[in-house]
Amino acid sequence: PFLDNFDSNTNLGWRTELYSGAIDDLWHVTSRSCDTPSNSYWCGVEATGNYNTGRRINTALLSPPVFIPAAVSNATLTFREKYAGETVYDHCYVDITSNGGTNWNRLRDVTGGTGTWGLFSNSLAAYLNRTVCVRLYFDTSDSGFNTYGGWYVDQFSISGSLSIIPSFTLSGVVKEHGTRRAVSNAQLCFSGTSNGSASVNADGSYSIPGLSPGPYSVYAAAAGYSNSEAQALLLASNATAHLFI
């Protein structure tokens, strides 16, 4: 559903936040180090190559909102990263929200680092049919020992495979009310998860294949007859709906 390698000049909706009175908004696109040809996001100062400002760094990079469809399987958050900071004190948090930031769930907390590029990956199976935002939150806890390389992020992706959605067939017979004789000249239409019309065979039968799961209404009309309506629910198997006009 979403991929950004930060190599274009277009901001796809990324933004930053500062916490606990911090004033150093250090997250920005840089070409200093990257896992793709051109750019990455980095929390640091270009002039020095570290994040030392003489103050505590307490800032986050927030992804744009991303909707994860229910039909996606193996929904996964991945990104390439390189981080180096003071062990115990300089935290690289990965958080996620599905309610607009009212509550954040922590996916990862690390400190230290080797300063080499690696992969972060986390399943998002718990967030299907939701709109999520990911927060990359860097907190040094204090103002000391902030001369490490900082946190770089590249190749950010929320992805998965579209599952095969089952399809069903709705069938039945259009008959004359009372005599139960087949009505072959009826006009048939249906509405529900999808809408359309269908032809009626000479024996009054009809068949509508390829319908997605859900509730349906079927309508039949023919010259000289009263209109008729029937309902059917397609969830785990094909269904039958007879109409009498």
Check pLDDT > 60 for residue 164. no
pLDDT in tens, 220-242: 888 888 888 887 776 667 888 87
Report, as an integer, the average pLDDT of 58-71. Answer: 91
Q: What tokens does 83 get?
A: 């981080």
Q: What is the tens place of the pLDDT at every residue in 111-122?
A: 999 899 999 999
Distance CA 228, CA 240 (A): 15
Side chain identity, residue 194: S
pLDDT at 149: 98
pLDDT band at 54 (very low <50, low <70, confident <90, very high): very high
Segment of 52-56, 63-67, 196-200 carrying the highest mean pLDDT: 52-56
Note the pLDDT of residue 163: 60
Return the number of other C-beta atoms located less than 10 Å from residue 177's C-beta: 13
Res. 95 pLDDT band, cuts 50 70 90: very high
Average pLDDT rounded to a whole number, residues 10-35: 95
Could you report the per-residue pLDDT of 182-225, keeping only the tens digit for each? Answer: 888 888 888 876 778 888 888 989 998 888 777 888 888 888 88
Per residue, what are the HEC states of the chain?
CEEECCCCCCCCCCEEEECCCCCCCCEEEECCCCCCCCCEEEECECCCCECCCCCCCEEEEECCCEEECCCEEEEEEEEEEEEECCCCCCEEEEEEECCCCCCCEEEEEECCCCCCCEEEEEECHHHCCEEEEEEEEEECCCCCCCCCCEEEEEEEEEEEEECCCCCEEEEEEEECCCCCCECCCCEEEEEECCCEEECCCCCCEEEEEEECCEEEEEEEECCCCCCEEEEEEECCCCEECCEEC
The confidence score (pLDDT) of residue 59 equals 98
